[in-house]
Chain A
């Protein structure tokens, strides 16, 4: 139901590298799970509104009031690679 190509496509969207072995295993496991989920298609869902928030809440907006930002050294503390006062990453164009 979900073949290797689809697993690879979805993995690419999710930025998840999979070994050849994992692709095969995931394809089987995901197919089983999706098979179970298929059950949903038995229901007639026309005219049913989807539920995004189970508890009805009004707008929860925030007043436009400045609060102190993090000191930069705190923002950087857990980062894997800091350079030039920023978070360094391999270039997207490389």
Chain B
């Protein structure tokens, strides 16, 4: 084999198990690649190959893991893409990172992201934008852009991301890899630097569905340190389905192609035909309130964010601006070290919660959330899974939308309603448009991860999208 970093994690684990591959050798290959990368995907990379003795004996065999920067990792920089946490090394480690370490992954590096996960292009990072490995003049998507780019470019076999309104699925789509946003509550949020608590959920990125399933199988579980965590009612099974017989797929009625790039729509339609060929039926479903999803989301997420980010006050950790009086210390610190998008959302969120506006905005949005959740419940009475393009467009050029927050927010049109309802969804690559990957989103009822993974696996085999990192250069 020429490229160790072309191996999927599962293949590498099998090779380590059989003695054909040395865990340290694999780690070193990734570490060298990550240390030399020029996508700006990493904000920190392990400076040496750790002793992998114990990890190599665990199920995941010491296979390296890239972790989005907003997961706290004890003693290792955890900056969440923000200047206010520059150099911050927490004393605690996120539960999911601990679980994965216990399962045998080893921490390869921390990946770049939009500041506090606010963004869809990774251009809101205080540590510079991440480049899309398919085309370095384009964005990788966000907010987990560094994780997605790293996995796509062979800088990590798999990675952890978080998804609040699409932050795993959209970058997975734009980078041509697989990303799963699990059911809200299945993965502990403890140690994940919060953006919007009622929406944030950790999930895996990998180059194929099997790896995503494998990583996820070690992520979920009830955590006594996260009161909102419920774990997963059943074990995650590595998918084996080759067909989609009898599977009823639903396409939202209002998905007519309007607002979606033609190339994306074409790839999507072709994928639907592939599904039919595999035995699935495709029908239309009504989601009458999904269209209100973005509006509700852009109240709820900023409102919770405005509160979650209040702790960054320059008192106990993080950066502080000098001032003689307390209020100036607060306001200067937060002015100097928060980026523009963060400020925007803090202001919107504070406004939505302020006296006189709460009922119209925050309470209203939470009610719309109820309506959207009901829509999905009704839809899933008629179909097994709902399918949409993950993103209305392919990766866009760096800087193309930075001056228009609203246009940027529209990237999340298809992903946000599912987040509001707390449902699981996967994005898998389904083809190319203008030489860039197109993602397909497959969503199901709460805790239907196994069904989603099975369908995605069968579909992935039939679609035969090549995400081998060393070939991405050729695809460009």
A residues with a Cβ closer than 8 A to B are 2, 6-7, 9-11, 13-19, 22, 26, 29-30, 32-34, 36-41, 43, 45, 48-55, 57, 60, 62, 70, 74-75, 77-81, 87, 89-92, 94
Contact = CB atoms under 8 A, between A and B. Distances in A.
Contacts of B315: 79-80, 87, 89
Given A16-B334, A62-B224, 11 more contacts: A15-B313, A32-B406, A33-B344, A33-B348, A39-B292, A48-B371, A50-B366, A54-B185, A55-B185, A78-B318, A91-B325
Contacts of B183: 55
B378 interface: no
Interface of B: 88-91, 183-185, 198, 224, 227-230, 289, 292, 294-296, 298-299, 306, 310, 313-320, 323-332, 334-335, 338, 343-344, 346-348, 350-351, 354, 360-361, 363-371, 373, 405-406, 409, 420-422, 446
Contacts of A40: 292, 295-296, 299, 360-361, 364-365, 368
Contacts of B88: 78
B166 to A, nearest CB: 16
Nearest to A47: B367
B360 A54 contact: no
Contacts of A79: 315-317
Contacts of B331: 11, 15-17
Contacts of A9: 354
A19 B421 CA distance: 38
Given A55-B183, A70-B91, A87-B315, A16 B335 contact: yes
Contacts of B368: 40, 43, 45
8 contacts: A10-B354, A33-B405, A36-B295, A52-B198, A55-B183, A80-B315, A80-B320, A87-B315
Contacts of B354: 9-10, 13
B76 to A, nearest CB: 13
A81 B183 CA distance: 41
Contacts of B420: 54
Contacts of B91: 70, 74-75, 77
B334 A6 contact: no
B364 A89 contact: no
Contacts of A10: 347, 350-351, 354
A29 to B, nearest CB: 6
The 8 closest A-B pairs by CB, nearest first: A54-B422, A50-B366, A78-B317, A17-B335, A17-B331, A60-B227, A80-B320, A15-B330
Nearest to B338: A16
Contacts of B367: 43, 45, 48-51
B348 A17 contact: no
A2 B347 CA distance: 11
Contacts of A22: 343
B295 A37 contact: yes
Interface centre among A15, A60, A92 (most CB of B within 10 A): A15
A33 B333 CA distance: 26
Contacts of B360: 40-41
Given A37-B361, A45-B364, A52-B366, A16 B347 contact: yes
B239 to A, nearest CB: 23
Contact of B347 (A14, A17, A45, A78): A14
A32 B410 CA distance: 13
Contact of B366 (A7, A29, A34, A51): A51
Contacts of B327: 15
B95 to A, nearest CB: 14
Nearest to A57: B230
A26 B295 contact: no
